[in-house]
Structure 1
Amino acid sequence: MKKTLLLILVMSRMAAGQSEYQASTLPPALKENAHAVIRRHETVFSVESAGEATQRIRSVVTVLDEQGDGHSRMVVGYDKLSKVVNLEGALYDATGKLIKKLKKPDINDYSTYTDYNLFDDNRVKSASFPKQPAYPYTVEFVVETLERNLMFCPTWMPQDDEYVSVEQASFTVNMPAGLALRYKEMNIAAPRKEESLINGGKAYVWTLTNSPAVELEPLSPPAREQLPIVYTAPTDFEVQSYKGTITSWSDLGRFYYNLNQGRDRIPDDLRQRVIDLTKTETTTAGKVRKVYQFLQEQTRYVSIQLGIGGWQTIEAEKVAVGKYGDCKALTNYAQALLKAAGVTAYPALARAGDKEPDLQANFPSFQFNHVILCVPNEKDTLFLECTSSHDPAGYVGDFTGNRHVLLVLPEGSRLVKTPMYRAMDNCQQRRATVTVNEEGDASVDLVTCYTGFQQDDHVNAIHSLNPEDQRSWLLKRIAIPAFELDSFSFRKQTGAIPSVTERLGLSIRRWANASGTRLFLPLNLMSALSPATPLTQPRQTPVELGPAYDFDDSDTITYQLPRGYKPEYQIEPLTIESKFGTYQAKLVMDGERVVYIRRITMHRGRFPAPAYAEWVDFRKKIAKADRTQLVFVKRS
């Protein structure tokens, strides 16, 4: 009887193990809206000491269609502080039959070096299976690593794609006695389990089961706010003999300050040069502008990622000689130059990127990927992007704007906010003269001034593209059918809110539609908005209008009609107001000239779910107004 029970138990476990490779055992609910299903995802992070940990991740994923093929590839990064101990993989067909196992020749190992990564010890191991002729199929990967940088602990997000569902996933962190784990949970229904281990250690376990794919609604909050996620961080850590403690942002700032203290010395001749450069400036802002311009003219940005060097700057003296540095080095160098000019400045750790979320302000941890410089100046604090060769002093754009940064002070480091750029900072002011002939063809002289966020792409094109590539870039951006770009030019202006003025000469075929004695003339030349995606079911999540919706656009388009044409009817002024913004449009008639004036002002914000219906209505009305045509009739 005992042997029979044992045999049954073994067979049941084998059957359970095989079922995770069989597509037929998938619950139907997990296949809805999904390109792939995570059958098993097991992460075990075991901390051995303040300076070393091991991690083992086993994932089994059933791929349902071509859009899920990305799961058949595994990429693991490593450097001198981490080591890939093991990488295994296997491929199964829909029935769970083994097709292929990874072999050593299937695993590629290469550097992540790029032309701006001058010094970089980051490498990648990559493995993938060939494209399969039929779906579904299942892939399994096992990755084991040794970590010697416990400044960072894992962030667990098993469902990191809204088109992926999860059958079973678990996250275990094993901590030894004397070391504490800090964590933050979001969107986790199952409670965390805390279990005692031998010798006084603890294990923290999170689980997720039968979580369906999430179909994100239009303009919903980002996926990280809707999908399960667990952030973890150490209390005590050690990296290459550098020890640190994090229980507050002040602790983190103190570690960074001590790591980089004393690296801001510059040669005496350079110090005197800075003094001479700024001696006629009587204000802090004036000195900052002079020093920042000097920095931009004399240095270039490179990336340096070497162990603790990812956080410890090279000395300012070396930057002065080599004239290059990464974000840390150039920020430290600029701080040293300003110190010579009598201006106090401090580094600020940032999570940079126009698509990056703001950091978790209530969870002190290493969430940063960039460093900028902060110059306190009474009520007009300046932030400097020291890696930029062309941004004006004090402008940080959407790369590091409107987010928390950690101001690193000798004592009492703290979070502060970088500038927020609002609608009146992000403008598009367009004036155009359009001459239309009787066939409907038009010649256009168009001048547009872009400011703030709206000038960012243009100023990058000015500095990174040659004239031929600038022309190609413009051709892709101009939303007019059947046109020729006859001429173009750019003029850049610096300031707290920089601007770019763009001048275009265009020839448009059949802009107006000629029919008999009538001309049907579209009024909106280049700024028409499309309607929003309508609701198909009750809205569940808030409406999130991000920084891209904080703008003020105005158009003044003067149309010169052929002789003898007059408008068949008048169009009344239109104003559309909502909680999201305001739209205005009107016409001014002057004989054979018509002036079309349009302005739309939008504001970022988060609105309750029911507001989406209002958003759809608002955009529908705007789209209709932007499609307005005016009919002209030729006098007999």
Structure 2
Amino acid sequence: MRKILIALQLIFIGLATPLHAQEIPANTFKIELLANANAILREEITEINILSVDKMRVKNRRTVTVLNENGDYHVQAYTFHKDNIKILDQQARVYNSSGEEIKKFKKRHFEDRSYLSSSEMYGDSRISYMNYTPVGYPYTVVFEEEYETNSTVFRTSWIPLDTYNLSIEKARYIFKNPQAIPFRFEERNMDGLEVEREIMATGLEYNISNVPAFTSEKHSPDKSEFQPRLLVALDEFSLVGVEGSGNNWKDFGKWQYEHLLEHDAQLPQATIEKIEKLTANAESDREKAKIIYQYVQDNTRYISVQLGIGGWIPMPAAKVDELGYGDCKALTNYTRVLLETQNIPSYYTVVYGGDRKHLDPEFPSMQGNHVILNIPQEDQDIWLECTSQSIPFDFLGRFTDDRYVLKLTPEGGELVKTPAYGAKHNLTRTEAEIRLDEESFTADITRHKSGIAYDKIYGIQIIKERNQKEYYKELWGYLGHFEIQNLSFSNDRDSVKFLEKLEIKGKNFSRKAGNRLLLPVNFLRPTVYSLPRDETRKMPIEITRGESYADTFRYYFPQGFEIESIPEKVHLENEFGSLFIQTSLIEAEDGPVLEVERKLIINQGLWEPEKYEAYYKFLNQIKSYNNQKAVILTAG
């Protein structure tokens, strides 16, 4: 730490000379900004200038002092662009730990390349970036960019602290709206921070300073729940030249429905006739929808397309039918159009997929990164994930479950929630029969999984057998050395249940002590959450999905073995979950059988940081009880 402080002082001294007086503020920052920081945002000035409904100019000047190699990411000396985003200027300067300029980049020095993800087949997204490898730490980068775009529906909000382990000395946001286009803004998570605000009819200015870095803590909420943000949106806007308006979810959804969706789609007659034939004997709309969904899964595959307005408007259904592929928008729209041929209404639905669960329900704006399909029903709606060739009908899984989504209807947008899978649905039920002697054991294992437990495992059936076996050996590494003799799966997509059957053989599962065996009675242990010891917890504890486990283990012994002692019954229950374990001795013709029943429930919930120690102890109790042992007398 002392070396870092000395080096930082040199930066400040070097950058305080007249030559660089305007480059980086010479005043030192508060020592608290070093805590948990890999880099410090010395100063950032973001200026948004709304020139018209369909023209916006953005300037950004970002000065970052990088403290170590983990802080390189925070430099962010790059600009994403595409056909509708024109880069006007880019430049950067790099300073060493003595405050001396060691590298200068002008616009022509920035490298430019296509920016496609592994799932994208084609697109016009590009990145222009500074290619620089640090030669020592700390170092400082001043990066400036300026660009214009005809999309004013995006890039207007401000997230100065967008990641972990970055602190802020100063950050400024300037929103200029000289045309006085109606706009809205809302603050998020700014209470208790040093914030200066100036609010005008034609713009905003926000200054934030001395924000310490926050660090990732296990099982804490998504960072969007606590990072300071300023949400800003125009009520009249443009998306790649397509103008729109809306300041509530209904109007915003109606604009998307009318301008971004395909209407009066024309499918080939041969495809319509094929669907008619496939659904001819179906007795309900649900059955027809299931047949059509299977048809889409059998005849299409997912490939992302991000090209101009095509990044937001689905590929026409007829084109998907011809090519056999599409992105989430295209495949969802294609399924919707196929359902229309059978007079089944369905709704294109915008969602944030992944760990960030929710659209912000209080701030209508262009949000989301994925689309799914909603089919209304009298009792319970049907939800379809149209990009997967293997996920069951009417099952969403972890990517889009339990969150606010925007359903696009002819009447407008409707904010609804997708199904949540509770602990009783997310069930792993295990049965195992174990035969053992002094040196080895064999076990027949059957596991039934449903809900999110199904979602986590069903993909195993399509990987190579070698990788399947490696998965179980890593999962059950506490069994010591064992070999998988037989392995099979059964995937019941209709009931969303997955069955695993294994026969394994291993050695030294129990520990020998003279003529006794110390036998762990909980043969397979549930993969429960683990937490590190943390006496300075800052964030709440969040368990996003509950889980439940129901296990039965039966142990069989050779002739002459005796069961000397068994563990006492366990019953543990609190706000975090519950654990029940009962070990019983059953007399059978071939000798005594040890039977273990275990039921574990982990509750979904959000708890304040002060509950961390109690939660930590709860998980440790589970681990301790999972290590219970019986004492077995051997024949010798």
Tell me the TM-score normalised to structure 2 length: 0.91
Do the aligned partners of residues 224 and 14 (structure 1) sit closer, same or farther apart at CA in structure 2, a change above 3 Å counting? farther
Question: What displacement does 1:18 show?
Answer: 5.8
Q: What is the letter of the counterpart of residue 488 of structure 1?
A: L
Give the counterpart letter for 2:88 in structure 1: V
CA displacement, residues 516-561 of structure 1 (integer Å, 9 cap, x when unaligned): 1011112223325476334414x554332212xx111122122223
Equivalent residues in 2 for 1:569-580 (5 A)?
569-580=565-576
What amino acid maps onto 2:558 in structure 1?
A: P
Look up the match of 1:55: 58
- Output aligned runs, 1:136-175, within 5 Å: 136-175=138-177
CA distance in 1, matches of 2:299, 2:377: 25
* Secondary structure of 1:391's aligned partner: coil
Specify the code of the residue in structure 1 equivalent to 2:517. L
Cross-structure match for 2:452: 453
Matches within 5 A, 1:428-577: 428-439=428-439, 441-463=440-462, 465-480=463-478, 481-495=480-494, 498-527=496-525, 529=528, 532-537=531-536, 541-547=539-545, 550-577=546-573
Aligned to 1:585: 581
1:565 partner letter: F
Paired residue for 1:236?
Answer: 236
- Contact persistence 2:556–2:594 (CA under 8 A): yes
* SS of the residue 1:610 aligns to: helix
The separation in 2 between residues aligned to 1:490 and 1:106, in whole angstroms, is 55
Measure how far apart 1:21 and its partner are: 7.3
2:283 corresponds in structure 1 to 282
Conserved 8 A contact 2:42-2:65: yes
Equivalent residues of 1:383, 1:394 under 8 A apart: yes
Aligned residues of 1:38 and 1:166 also touching (Cα < 8 A): yes
- How is 1:104-123 mapped onto 2 (pairs within 5 angstroms)? 107-114=110-117, 116-123=119-126
Aligned residue number for residue 312 of structure 1: 313
Residues 478 and 110 (structure 1), Cα distance of their counterparts in 2 relative to 1, 3 Å cut: farther
CA distance in 2 between counterparts of 1:106 and 1:625 reads 62
Q: What does 1:174-213 correspond to in 2, within 5 Å?
A: 174-188=176-190, 189-190=193-194, 193-194=197-198, 202-213=202-213
Corresponding residue for 2:6?
none
3-state SS, counterpart of residue 287 of structure 2: helix
Q: Which residue of 2 aligns with 1:327?
A: 328
Hey, what's the Cα distance between the residues in 2 that align with 1:89 and 1:14?
16
The answer to whether residue 633 in structure 2 is matched with residue 633 in structure 1 is yes
Partner SS, residue 413 of structure 1 = strand
Q: Distance in 2 between matches of 1:374 and 1:579?
A: 34
State the 1:218 CA deviation.
4.3
Aligned mates of 2:107, 2:22 — CA distance in 1:
25
What is the alpha-carbon distance in structure 2 between the residues aligned to residue 542 and residue 104 of structure 1?
A: 44
Query: Using a 3 Å threshold, how does the CA distance of structure 1 residues 84 and 483 change in structure 2: closer, same or farther?
Result: farther
Q: Deviations over 1:569-610 (max 9, x none)?
A: 232211100111111111121244212221101221123343
RMSD: 2.4
Partner of 1:96: 99
1:356 alignment partner in structure 2: 356
CA deviation map 1:459-518 (0-9, x unaligned): 22323x2333333444443333323233322211113x5122112222222111112101
Q: Which residue in the other structure is 1:612 paired with?
A: 612
Distance 1:230 1:115 in 2: 32
Matched residues in 2 for 1:558 and 1:74: separation? 60
- Identity level (%): 28
Once the two structures are superposed, what CA deviation does each residue of 1:440-470 show, in whole Å capped at 9, x if it has no partner?
x22222111121211223222323x233333
Does residue 68 of structure 2 align to residue 69 of structure 1? no
Using the TM superposition, give the Cα deviation of residue 329 of structure 1 relative to its aligned residue in structure 2, in angstroms: 1.7
Cα deviation for residue 214 of structure 1 reads 2.3
Task: Report if the CA contact (8 A) 2:423-2:601 is conserved.
Answer: yes
Map Cα deviations across residues 283-309 of structure 1 (whole Å, 9 max, x no partner). 121111111111111222221211111
In the alignment, the residues of structure 1 paired with residue 485 and residue 79 of structure 2 have an alpha-carbon distance, to the nearest angstrom, of: 49
Distance of aligned partners of 1:471 and 1:78 in 2 relative to their CA distance in 1, 3 Å threshold: farther
Conserved? CA contact 2:194–2:208, under 8 Å: yes
The 8 Å contact of residues 117 and 302 in structure 1, kept in 2 or not, is answered as yes
Mean alpha-carbon deviation: is it higher for 102-111 or for 563-572?
A: 102-111
Where 2:334 maps in the other structure, the secondary structure is helix
Equivalent residues of 2:436, 2:558 under 8 A apart = yes
Segments of structure 2 that go 5 or more residues without pairing to the other structure are 1-15
CA gap 1:531/1:297 in 2 versus in 1, 3 angstroms: closer
Q: CA deviation at 1:416?
A: 1.0
Q: How far apart, in 1, do the equivalents of 2:319 and 2:185 lie?
A: 39
101-110 or 332-341, larger mean C-alpha shift? 101-110
Partner SS state of residue 329, structure 1? helix
| Equivalent residue letter for 1:297 | D
Q: Is the 8 A contact 1:21 1:92 kept in 2?
A: no
> CA offsets, 1:9-47, max 9 Å, x none?
xx998775465479xx34321112211111111111111
Distance 1:73 1:613, change over 3 A: closer
Q: Aligned partners of 1:223 and 1:278: how far apart in 2? A: 46
Query: Which 10-residue stretch deviates more, 611-620 or 386-395?
Result: 611-620
In 1, the alpha carbon distance for the partners of 2:523 and 2:115 equals 45
Alignment partner of 1:156: what SS?
Answer: coil
For residue 128 of structure 2, what is the aligned residue in structure 1?
A: 125
More displaced, 262-271 or 161-170?
262-271
CA distance in 2, matches of 1:380, 1:334: 19
Whole-angstrom distance in 2 between the partners of 1:331 and 1:263: 16
| 2:401 counterpart residue number | 401
Flag the 1:560–1:83 CA change in 2: closer, same or farther, 3 A: farther
Q: Which residue of 1 aligns with 2:272?
A: 271
Amino acid at match of 1:179: I
Contact 1:153 1:233 (8 Å CA) reproduced: no
Deviation at 1:62, TM superposition (A): 1.3
Cross-structure match for 1:4: none
Structure 1 residue 429 displacement after superposition: 0.9
SS at the partner of 1:400? coil
AA at the equivalent of 1:269:
A
- In structure 1, how many angstroms separate the alpha carbons of the residues matched to 2:109 and 2:486? 52
Alpha-carbon distance in 2 for matches of 1:525, 1:128: 53
Partner Cα separation in structure 1 for residue 522 and residue 158 of structure 2: 48
Indicate the SS of the match to 1:128.
Answer: coil
Unaligned 5+ runs, structure 1: 1-10
Q: What is the one-letter code of the residue matched to 2:55?
A: E
Contact 1:263/1:314, CA 8 A, preserved across alignment: no
How far apart are 1:230 and its partner, in Å?
1.4
Name the CA distance, whole Å, in 1 between partners of 2:50 and 2:264: 32
AA in 1 matched with 2:197: K
* Preserved contact between residue 21 and residue 95 of structure 1 (Cα < 8 Å): no
Give the structure 2 partner of residue 3 of structure 1. none
> Mean Cα displacement is larger for which, 470-479 or 421-430?
470-479
One-letter code aligned to 1:137:
Y
**C-alpha distance in structure 2 between counterparts of 1:462 and 1:76, whole Å:** 41
Q: For 2:409, what is the secondary structure of its paired residue? A: coil
CA displacement at 1:55 relative to structure 2: 1.2
Evaluate the alpha carbon distance shift between residue 492 and residue 531 of structure 1 in structure 2; reply closer, same or farther with a 3 A threshold: closer
Say if 2:24 and 2:43, in contact at 8 Å, map to a contact too: no
